[in-house]
Structure 1
């Protein structure tokens, strides 16, 4: 009887093994290897990668971008040209005998050139309200709009450029910390910081007409638009694309902001300027000029020294009352910057170093 049971188990094991339990067909039997174990690349450089283990074919992806298909023991040879920059999983989708397996490996793709550096010239100075903890600043139809922050004192304003007078204002409910704004098709979009939602207003009446939730991003920092889509920063390296035609104003995609050697975070207030995204870097004197197609930081504007031109420098918190607020007037091709609780708004000219 014991002999019979032993023979039965041997036959059963052999049957199961023949029906696909071969350990050589399991995910653990594969490894994804990159030549020289390299995990950092620049545009223009090539990557050589191969999946070790028996397979029929492999399809390689960078994030969701398909790179190439290889057959058998072929090696992936790909030159980076038009991909989005940043940290992505290089994923090998492995196929064998009708089954598929995934092998991811994180790599970072940088830009191929260093950012161009710029300085500035002050063209004009205008009064700015010292109770305006500036989070968003934008021109629309020759009018200047501003969003201010802090729990209990956040607001949405229309401001007279020449005098700094607040022409129109609504206070935001005290449980919200207001952040960036952008205006598109007579609608003002305003973010909140940690509350996970944004507000939509009529540009003329400031009547709230809607709300939208954040999807994958956890915070709201800055907003801008290109006339069709909205761009949103969240304090990380990501700038999200929002669809204003969707009732949910949903986050559809993103870029990561990257130089030739670093991944940049803390990008705050945003502005669309001649096809590029301008972004304040929180608690820094720099503004990044970002390519919206791939996330490359193509320029850096150094605004150091601007704070010394204020009349209320001694009243400011050097940690929190920092440069923030970029507004571009496309009709007159003028650029304006200010800061949180600063008493001055500056018209500036950007000069290449």
Structure 2
């Protein structure tokens, strides 16, 4: 008899406290998956099972954004929520019992500025270079190349494309993005999840480090304070330049949603420039919010008739800070371009 009463009590508890499972408590607004432009209001409105309630607690990703003692709509400024996919909850309390409703939204930035290009100069580029990282310093290009058995780091003369110095990686390492930090050249590998540190002048290896939460090694740059890393998703990671530990991250979004396949990176005038893998596009990212503020369309720049349909992707961004020159190239391209951006 005690067991039967216990089961009945449990059944009554489930009936009383799980309105959501019966569809009685649910979000009317915002609809699940709704896309909201940053700065717009988010209206939290529920379909309540009863008008007699004690309180409602609203939260975004577990952080409380408002409380109500009635069934009226809660209005929240999306600026306070930030960009990205956000999980919404509403906890309703009635006579000491709790029920929960769920929804989610995607907060996106305003439409990005669109840029075309003008070719200012063209320079030779080694067609054996499967370009993964590119950087300009002291009149010289530093380049990292990929593919197993062929990965390398290089010092290249800009005007001639001549390789002045080259060191090959281990045959089992797939070279990816790289950046210069003081007298160090810091290189990523792809699926090996190992970063390699070289002496900038001798190209001798002087250290290694492991990745943290980032899945793979793709692009690498720095802002003078932190290393900035991509892993092929829409995430950007910020690393301590001394310990190489991932200390923070941002998610990158444009007005359509997350921007995946972020690849080679360059930090230019306070913004992160990133190749989008497989596309003739560079996106300009706000490093604080993750918002895509600009998009550079480079379709038609590289017109080599012998270009293959694969392994010839746009990939390589370098910047001459002193002369304000922007360079771009791609994997196994025979040209490296200096370009000027034109806002459309």
Name the TM-score, length of structure 1 as normaliser. 0.83
| Counterpart in the other structure of 1:334 | 325
Q: Distance in 1 between matches of 2:310 and 2:115?
A: 24
Question: Is the deviation greater in 328-337 or in 186-195?
Answer: 186-195
| Counterpart in the other structure of 2:57 | 58
- Three-state SS of the structure 2 residue aligned to 1:81 is helix
Question: Is the deviation greater in 324-333 or in 235-244?
Answer: 235-244
1:35 aligns with 2:29: yes
1:284 aligns with 2:283: no
Task: Please report how far the alpha carbon of residue 176 of structure 1 lies from its aligned counterpart in structure 2 after TM superposition.
Answer: 1.5
| Counterpart in the other structure of 1:3 | none
| Counterpart in the other structure of 2:251 | 255
Contact 1:84 1:295 in 2 (8 A): no
Contact 2:30 2:105 in 1 (8 A): no
Q: Distance in 1 between matches of 2:194 and 2:262?
A: 19
| Counterpart in the other structure of 1:205 | 202
Deviation by residue 1:20-70 (Cα, 9 ceiling, x = unmatched):
x68645696795525152522111211122565756552512x47x46231
Question: Is the deviation greater in 155-164 or in 187-196?
Answer: 187-196
Q: Distance in 2 between matches of 1:152 and 1:306?
A: 30
Task: Please report how far the alpha carbon of residue 195 of structure 1 lies from its aligned counterpart in structure 2 after TM superposition.
Answer: 1.7
- Identify which of 216, 236, 240 aligns with 1:239: 236
Q: Distance in 1 between matches of 2:68 and 2:29?
A: 18
Task: Please report how far the alpha carbon of residue 251 of structure 1 lies from its aligned counterpart in structure 2 after TM superposition.
Answer: 5.0
| Counterpart in the other structure of 2:84 | 86
Q: Distance in 2 between matches of 1:27 and 1:239?
A: 40
Q: Distance in 2 between matches of 1:171 and 1:233?
A: 23
Q: Distance in 2 between matches of 1:93 and 1:205?
A: 61
Q: Distance in 2 between matches of 1:33 and 1:46?
A: 16
Contact 1:32 1:49 in 2 (8 A): no
1:168 aligns with 2:159: no
Q: Distance in 1 between matches of 2:41 and 2:93?
A: 24
CA gap of 1:12–1:286, structure 2 versus 1, over 3 A, is closer
| Counterpart in the other structure of 2:311 | 320
Task: Please report how far the alpha carbon of residue 104 of structure 1 lies from its aligned counterpart in structure 2 after TM superposition.
Answer: 5.1
- Three-state SS of the structure 1 residue aligned to 2:191 is coil
Q: Distance in 2 between matches of 1:143 and 1:95?
A: 66
Contact 1:255 1:292 in 2 (8 A): no
Task: Please report how far the alpha carbon of residue 262 of structure 1 lies from its aligned counterpart in structure 2 after TM superposition.
Answer: 3.6
Q: Distance in 2 between matches of 1:250 and 1:134?
A: 25
Q: Distance in 1 between matches of 2:146 and 2:102?
A: 41
Q: Distance in 2 between matches of 1:99 and 1:139?
A: 63
Q: Distance in 2 between matches of 1:172 and 1:157?
A: 11
CA gap of 1:265–1:11, structure 2 versus 1, over 3 A, is closer
Q: Distance in 1 between matches of 2:184 and 2:101?
A: 45
Aligned length: 335
Q: Distance in 2 between matches of 1:11 and 1:36?
A: 41
